């Protein structure tokens, strides 16, 4: 499980409306209606639905946010916003977040080219129906200048346990920065406790084509995950018994505990995933672990269980692990 998910995001804005930071509620509602009209009259119409940021949708949206399907910023403030989501959760179009439109396409492979093609197709489809702000020199105009140009951000969520254990993350950070890329902890900066999950993304949207940016990110992700694999093997070779014990105990705790915090679950899943990579743990797939990771996030558990509170969620999370992570 070196790759978790990849994402391509295109930022677009409609001419004649101010950016969301300066919009009135009425203008925001209009933009939502226009985008939804465009999407729901397109070939996407049967596979998507719209969720507005009403009070009653709050928990559902928090759950989408912790799954990275929408941004934390989407949840802030009172401006009317909406997200158009495909039924398989691979497409998410945020309306009135920082920009009027943010097309997001997710992928679970080790290349983002297919995801980019899908995003590009949606972009084309919207451009045919909406006047998109574009400048000959600057490219697509965006609320924040760092997104201008292609308006594209592409990223991978990567699992880098060996680089974390061997304290090599700082050197990874400076390597990435030289390539115009950024590496961040997926929930807060580089937190070990959160199980060695990181986001690798491009920092600059300008001065290169979308395909070039994606090719560069794909190559960097490959280089990074290859390095992770090398370090995993080296760590294993030098600490076989210790690492074997660590991974096996993690599995034992994960699948037997009565209560598990989200933080501990991340950390244990990270160790078990490493165990699968190294052949220490068999009879269980990475897919089971990523499902467990995303299905037991706090808001997801609350949503599925009558707004369960923290202590109850920890019990439900542990129950999920005991039920779904048995070896077969």
Is residue 291 classed as helix, strand or coil in its secondary structure? helix
By the rule CB under 8 A, 258 interacts with its own copies: yes
By the rule CB under 8 A, 256 interacts with its own copies: yes
By the rule CB under 8 A, 251 interacts with its own copies: yes
Stretch that binds its own copies, among 20-28, 82-90, 138-146, 251-259 (CB under 8 A): 251-259
What is the footprint of its own copies within residues 32-51 (CB under 8 A)? none
CA-nearest of 155, 141, 168 to 16 is 141
By the rule CB under 8 A, 168 interacts with its own copies: no
Residue 117: other Cβ atoms inside 10 A? 15
By the rule CB under 8 A, 253 interacts with its own copies: yes
Q: 155 or 255: whose CB is closer to its own copies?
A: 255
End-to-end CA distance of the chain: 19
Tokens representing residue 47 in the block: 């596979």
> Nearest distance from residue 257's CB to its own copies, in Å?
5
Tokens representing residue 224 in the block: 């990074």
Q: 173 or 315: whose CB is closer to its own copies?
A: 315
d(C-alpha 163, C-alpha 231), whole Å: 7
Q: 59 or 315: whose CB is closer to its own copies?
A: 315
d(C-alpha 229, C-alpha 235), whole Å: 10
Q: 114 or 311: whose CB is closer to its own copies?
A: 311
Q: Convert residues 231-250 into a mask of x (bound to its own copies by CB under 8 A) and - (unbound).
A: ----------x--xx--xx-
Distances (CA, A) of 195 to 40, 94, 170, 275, 278: 39, 28, 16, 13, 17
Q: Which residues bind its own copies (CB under 8 A)?
A: 241, 244-245, 248-249, 251-259, 311, 315, 318
């Amino acid at each position: 499980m070196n790759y978790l998910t990849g994402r391509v995001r295109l930022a677009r804005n409609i001419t004649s409306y101010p950016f969301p930071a300066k919009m009135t509620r009425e203008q925001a509602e209009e933009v939502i209606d226009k985008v939804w009209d465009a999407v729901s009259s397109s070939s996407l119409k049967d596979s998507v639905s719209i969720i507005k940021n009403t009070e009653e949708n709050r928990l559902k949206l928090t759950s989408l946010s912790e799954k990275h399907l929408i941004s934390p910023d989407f949840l802030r403030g009172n401006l009317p916003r909406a997200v158009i989501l495909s039924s398989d959760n691979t497409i998410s179009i945020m309306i009135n977040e920082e920009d009027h439109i943010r097309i997001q396409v997710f992928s679970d492979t080790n290349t983002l080219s297919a995801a980019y093609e899908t995003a590009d197709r949606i972009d084309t489809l919207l451009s045919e129906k909406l006047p998109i702000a574009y400048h000959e020199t600057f490219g697509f105009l965006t609320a924040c200048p760092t997104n201008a140009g292609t308006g594209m951000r592409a990223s991978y969520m990567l699992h880098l346990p060996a680089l974390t254990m061997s304290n090599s993350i700082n050197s990874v950070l400076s390597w990435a920065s030289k390539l115009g890329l950024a590496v961040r902890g997926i929930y807060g900066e580089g937190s070990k406790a959160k199980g060695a999950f990181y986001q690798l993304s491009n920092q600059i949207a300008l001065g290169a084509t979308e395909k070039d940016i994606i090719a560069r990110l794909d190559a960097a992700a490959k280089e990074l995950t290859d390095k992770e694999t090398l370090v995993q093997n080296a760590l294993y070779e030098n600490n076989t018994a210790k690492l074997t014990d660590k991974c096996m105990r993690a599995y034992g705790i994960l699948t037997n505990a009565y209560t598990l915090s989200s933080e501990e679950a991340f950390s244990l899943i990270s160790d078990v995933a490493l165990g699968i990579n190294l052949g220490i743990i068999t009879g269980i797939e990475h897919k089971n672990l990523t499902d467990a990771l995303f299905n037991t996030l706090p808001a997801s558990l609350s949503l599925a269980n009558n707004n369960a509170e923290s202590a109850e969620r920890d019990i439900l999370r542990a129950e999920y692990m005991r039920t779904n992570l048995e070896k077969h």
